[in-house]
Structure 1
Amino acid sequence: MAVTTRNRGEEWLARGGLRPTRQRLALAHLLVGDGHDRHVTAESLYAASNRSGAKVSLATVYNTLRAFCDAGLVQEVVVDGSRSYFDTRLDDHPHFYWEDSAELTDAPKDQLQIAGLPEAPQGTVISRVDVVIRLRRS
């Protein structure tokens, strides 16, 4: 692991107030080590950790992704009731979900226009609006 890659993972964990355990550092390296945003499932991150030689169980990946969410380091994007992706890009932006490959990618934010939202029920506030545009090749 290059020094800059290691530092990026450690700094990322520190921003979330998380202790840099071996497992967290290994997963942080895979998620943000190269400075690019990622959309991962727990299973895809687990597979990437195996390919990298990191010894991390699938349960640890699930628990660590949940801790990353709770710390505000990633956001969960639910595509349907059974599939969640974890996005390292934290600003509000839409997504394309490619049904044929089960891939989630960023959609152009500047092309999205939301004209209005319904009023939130009394005693609540809207915390976030997720836009997932499902695509199928014609």
Structure 2
Amino acid sequence: MTPSQLETGTQWLAQAGLRPTRQRVALAALLVGDGRHRHVTAESLFASASEMDEKVSLATVYNTLKAFCAVGLMQEVMVDGAKSYFDTNTHDHPHFFWEDEGRISDAPSDAVKITALPDAPEGMEIAKVDVVIRLRSKA
């Protein structure tokens, strides 16, 4: 990683008030160091860190991604209630889930129209609506 990518990662952490540990800075640099948004899994980020000779465990990667989500740096996108993807773009937007490839990507927001939602049960409020559009190859 370049010094510029590490600096970008450090600034990203600072905007959320997260302490810039070596591992957090390295993972942040991989996620946002080049200024582009990323969709990752804990496993794919762990693999990228390993390729860069960063010494970090898969459990640390997962916990760090959860910490980034908790402070609003990322959002978690669940697919099938079992697989978590993490997105550096925190604005509300839909996703495509490419079933054949096991990956997600952004879908065009302007093409999705949600015109009504049910009332939340008593004592509850709607926190967020996730839209995941599943894609598969035509047979």
* TM-score bucket (shorter structure): over 0.9
Which residue in 1 is equivalent to 2:70?
A: 70
* CA root-mean-square deviation: 0.9
User: TM-score with structure 1 length normalisation?
Assistant: 0.97
Percent pairwise identity: 62
Question: What's the offset of the Cα at 1:4?
Answer: 2.7
The amino acid of 2:119's aligned partner reads E
Which residue in 2 is equivalent to 1:121?
A: 121
Unaligned 5+ runs, structure 1: none
Question: What's the offset of the Cα at 1:17?
Answer: 0.9
Task: State how 1:17-32 maps to structure 2 within 5 Å.
Answer: 17-32=17-32
Which residue in 2 is equivalent to 1:132?
A: 132
Say whether the 8 Å CA contact 2:10–2:25 is kept in structure 1. yes
Distance in 2, Cα, partners of 1:41 & 1:80: 14
Distance in 2, Cα, partners of 1:118 & 1:81: 21
Unaligned 5+ runs, structure 2: none
Question: What's the offset of the Cα at 1:123?
Answer: 1.2
The amino acid of 2:105's aligned partner reads T
State yes or no: 1:105 paired with 2:97: no
Say whether the 8 Å CA contact 2:6–2:26 is kept in structure 1. no
Aligned residues: 138
Distance in 2, Cα, partners of 1:42 & 1:2: 22
CA-to-aligned-CA distance 1:30-68 (integer Å, 9 cap, x gap): 100011101110001000100111111101101111111
The amino acid of 2:36's aligned partner reads H
The amino acid of 1:130's aligned partner reads D
Which residue in 2 is equivalent to 1:14?
A: 14
The amino acid of 1:137's aligned partner reads S
Distance in 2, Cα, partners of 1:26 & 1:7: 10
Runs of 4+ in 1 over 3 A off after TM superposition: none
SS in 1 for 2:73: coil
Distance in 2, Cα, partners of 1:85 & 1:2: 26
User: TM-score with structure 2 length normalisation?
Assistant: 0.96
Distance in 2, Cα, partners of 1:96 & 1:78: 12
